[in-house]
Amino acid sequence: MVDYYWFNFTKRAINEAKELELKAVRNASINIYASNWARNSGIKEYKIHSSKAKVIPFGANLSYADTDNISNIDKNDRINIIFSGVDWKRKGGELAVNACEKLVEDGYDVRLTIVGIKDLDYRVKGLDFIDYLGFLDKEDETQYLKYLDAWRKADILLLPTRAECAGIVFNEASAFGVPSLSVDTGGVADYVKNNINGYRMPLSANGEDFALKIEEWIKEDKLSTLSKGAKKIYKSRNNWRTWGISFNKLLEDSNIFKK
């Protein structure tokens, strides 16, 4: 997390945090992580025995996601791309915009819906292919329904994130059968499986690279298959019900509460 998600901490603060976490993980019977990236860090940095370090992927923070959104588009149809995140820079917002600009230049009818950003730059707002929804509060029923509607219309989640520990948004995409195009960084690999429910680009990829991958999906008619794969991953693995079942099984298998 240090110098990945968190920056400008003092050396003293970092040392104190590491000392506290070391005490916590050693005192725990089980250490549960949201990704293998985090688990591997725990094993390496704190010498946790692998048998006490487990991964249970997060679910989607949606109360209703039982919908199908199987995309079947070609170059003459609109491509609805969604970008969802609250940190424009860390989530790679400019890269997403650049990718869509490239798609427009190549003759595709593209709409980029931007969700989660409170203060979007006016230059981006003014682009013809941008649909800016702002920050939507899921606790507000009207805003929540607006958020769900954005997912129902989406064909692709484009999130060129610079740093990501897990990414619940990938599960929200999968819940609606929306393939995810992201980056191979942090814990993304536990949520975006290459050629199953999306693809992870290298961290060095630029906007054009993301655009070309989307064009590949369209030309090779991959969106429908990726959409079905996304639904399958969500229903079988990356949802909160499965998280609860996995958690309960860990407790039962560990004999923590047995005398």
For the segment 91-145, what is each residue's pLDDT rounded down to a tens digit?
A: 999 999 999 999 999 999 999 999 999 999 999 999 999 999 999 999 999 999 9
Q: Is the pLDDT of residue 72 over 70?
A: no
What is the pLDDT of the chain when averaged over all its residues? 92
pLDDT at 168: 94
pLDDT category of residue 254 using cuts at 50, 70 and 90:
confident
Helices (H) and strands (E) in the chain, counts: 9, 8
Residue partners of 157: CB distance under 8 A and separation at least 6: 81, 82, 83, 84, 169, 170, 173, 178, 179, 180, 181, 182, 198
Helical H runs in 55-179? 93-105, 122-125, 141-153, 168-175
**Which domains, from first to last, does the chain contain?**
11-59+239-254 (no CATH), 79-236 (3.40.50.2000)
40 close to 31: Cβ distance less than 8 angstroms: no
Whole-number Å distance between alpha carbons of 161 and 164: 7
What's the token pair of residue 19?
């000392």
Beta bridge mates, 201: 183
For the segment 173-221, what is each residue's pLDDT rounded down to a tens digit?
A: 999 999 999 999 999 999 999 999 999 999 999 999 999 999 999 999 9
What's the token pair of residue 213?
């991958």
Beta strands in 35-194 (DSSP E): 53-55, 79-84, 110-115, 130-134, 156-158, 180-183
For the segment 4-54, what is each residue's pLDDT rounded down to a tens digit?
A: 998 999 999 999 999 999 999 999 999 999 999 999 999 999 999 999 999
pLDDT at 76: 53
pLDDT category of residue 258 using cuts at 50, 70 and 90:
low
The DSSP code for 47 is -
pLDDT at 257: 67
Give me the long-range contacts of 244-249 (CB less than 8 A, separation at least 24).
246/56, 247/32, 247/56
Whole-number Å distance between alpha carbons of 249 and 243: 10
Q: Is the pLDDT of residue 66 over 60?
A: no
